[in-house]
Amino acid sequence: MLKADNVKLSIGRKQILKGVDVQARAGKFTAIVGPNGCGKTTLLRAITGDLPYSGRIGLNGRDLSDVSLADQALMRGVLAQSTPLSFPFTVIEVVRMGLMAGTAAADAVLRQNLPLQTLRQVDLMGYENRFYQELSGGEQQRVQLARVLCQMWDATRDDQPCWLFLDEPVSSLDIAHQNEVMQIARDFAARGGGVIAVMHDLNLTAAFADHVVMMRDGQVVASGDVQQVYTSENLSSAYGCRIDLSVPVSATAPVIHPGVVVNA
Ligand SMILES: Nc1ncnc2c1ncn2[C@@H]1O[C@H](COP(=O)(O)OP(=O)(O)OP(=O)(O)O)[C@@H](O)[C@H]1O
Ligand SMILES: [Mg+2]
């Protein structure tokens, strides 16, 4: 389990997280949603040990402040919101960085094949010797996911869940690759791992997430399953505009659309 209690975080004089409580279970896909600037990335960066915070964050029952970054790299893989690289690495070199960060697969043969296997998973076979910097934004995002999957190939390790922390993993992807990546994340959870993903696409989130945490202005304003969190009231208040929901007969999740304001 990932458990954040009363997490507060300031950068300079600005308080960005104002006492955040979040729980995410292994075996589940947890989505963090909320408007631009509400603190989603900052929360993820606290959870990944990148930013100092007050309060408590526990991962698999251990207080994060007691776990070295090297040990954290064995427990979780992190996909940042964007990952510009300054040096001309090839795609396969970037993906192999995941092998260095964690222990990846226990099996040595699998481990050797993993970079190509994860590239195939994200639909980038044949890209291994291309330069990362010369790829499109969506292709770069999928290379980074392949790197993270290399690091966290096993969804559990020593009977403990492994975690994927993904900051907007599908923001640059077309609809087919969005579905593919969401499915990869959901499969990871189905194998016993934990997934926390920051998301902007509320409909995609409704289709894949088990648990939704909604933030606004550095605080959690709603959390629970999709049906609990996705109310017109919650959404409209969090995003500051009218948001309507409808449930088509054939759909299992509500469909969200911005309210249409008709001038009289
Ligand atoms: N290094 C920094 N210095 C100053 N302010 C920062 C810094 N990093 C983030 N902030 C501020 O903290 C707030 C939260 O930023 P954060 O990146 O967590 O937002 P977010 O919810 O991830 O937004 P988005 O959906 O746009 O990615 C914003 O107001 C941002 O301007
Ligand atoms: Mg962000």
Percent of the chain with pLDDT over 90: 78
What is the crossing angle of helices 137-151 and 108-121, to 10°? 160
Q: What is the pLDDT of residue 108?
A: 77
Nearest CA to ligand 1 atom 13: 37
* Whether the CB of 36 sits within 6 Å of ligand 1: yes
pLDDT per residue as tens digits for the range 171-193: 999 999 999 999 999 999 999 99
Mean pLDDT of the chain: 91
Q: Does position 143 have pLDDT exceeding 60, yes or no?
A: yes
Nearest C-alpha neighbor of 74 from the set 188, 156, 135: 156
Domain 2-226 has CATH 3.10.20.30: no
Q: Does position 88 have pLDDT exceeding 70, yes or no?
A: yes
* Whether the CB of 39 sits within 6 Å of ligand 1: yes
Nearest C-alpha neighbor of 182 from the set 104, 101, 79: 79
For residue 38, the CA-to-ligand 1 centroid distance in Å is 7
pLDDT per residue as tens digits for the range 123-134: 999 999 999 999
Nearest CA to ligand 1 atom 4: 11
Residue 250: pLDDT band (50, 70, 90) is low
Distance from C-alpha of 176 to C-alpha of 195, rounded to nearest angstrom? 20
Distance from C-alpha of 47 to C-alpha of 165, rounded to nearest angstrom? 9
- At 115 the three-state DSSP class reads helix
Global pTM reads 0.93
pLDDT per residue as tens digits for the range 30-84: 999 999 999 999 999 999 989 999 999 999 999 999 999 888 988 999 999 888 8
Q: What is the DSSP string of 220-231?
A: EEEEESHHHH--
Domain ranges of the chain: 2-226
Q: What is the pLDDT of residue 260?
A: 52
* Whether the CB of 40 sits within 6 Å of ligand 1: yes
Q: What is the pLDDT of residue 251?
A: 66
- At 135 the three-state DSSP class reads coil
Q: What is the pLDDT of residue 247?
A: 74
Nearest CA to ligand 1 atom 17: 41
**Nearest ligand atom owner, CA of 39:** 1
Residue 52, C-beta contacts closer than 8 angstroms, at least 6 positions apart:
9
Q: Which atom of ligand 1 is nearest to the CA of 215?
A: 21
C-alpha separations of 84 from 74, 89, 184 in Å = 23, 11, 23
Q: What is the pLDDT of residue 263?
A: 43
Q: Which atom of ligand 1 is nearest to the CA of 81?
A: 27
Residue 158: pLDDT band (50, 70, 90) is confident
